[in-house]
Amino acid sequence: TESGDEFGAALCFGRFDNTNKGTFVVGAPGEDSDAGMVHVIAPWRQVYGLSGAQSIVYDCENNLVFSAKPFDQVWIASITKTMTCLIAAERSQLPSNDPRYLDLDAEIIIPEWVADEIPGSQVPLSEGERINLRDLMYTCMMLSGNDAANAIAYFIYGGAPEICVTAFVTEMNQRAAQLGMNDTHFHNPAGLDNEPVGLELGEHYSTPDDMAKL
């Protein structure tokens, strides 16, 4: 844009300064030969050249401010761990006499399958190691520990992976339904594209819109 440009009533997204970032604006027309005004209505300033093909952004009042193909069903990888830790966190906030309550300081002993059979990013956890739920949640999120995510499922349900992972994935999908995540399905606690312990629990996908709800 140049000084003196006359705008009609229009929406525009473009570069308006030398920051190499984009701004969403509304051109308000002037009267007669007046150039009118340009109102910047998205001051968060979106960068150009997003590497992500799908995205969505809400502000803190839940107003949609940006989206790109927000309803595409895609693999969601480690964003899955948000649901895994949400379930653990919500259970830790229940009354202590609730049968679903989890004590953040309670410990488990890491079984062999968690330590040795879960691929991808690791804490890593060792077979026989003692760790509490709080630290499992920290390492699940901050280190993106696939082993920690599965250990949370084991912490809650216990037993072999076909028992605890199956039960935990069922709870993940139930919680997703409660949140209105209608285009989401989980099949493991860590977000791996394929079930690492050989279970047949359906597909693993979500959408940017659903993940924003989460």
Residues with catalytic annotation?
A: 78, 81, 144
Q: What are phi and psi of 17, to 5 degrees?
A: -155, -165
Contacts of 76 (CB under 8 A, 6+ apart): 191, 204, 205, 206, 211
What is the Cα–Cα distance from 123 to 114, expressed in whole angstroms?
Answer: 11
Pairing of β 21-28 and β 55-58:
unpaired
Q: Which amino acid is at 43?
A: P
Residue recorded with tokens 């968690």: 114
Q: Chain-centre distance of CA 21, in angstroms?
A: 25
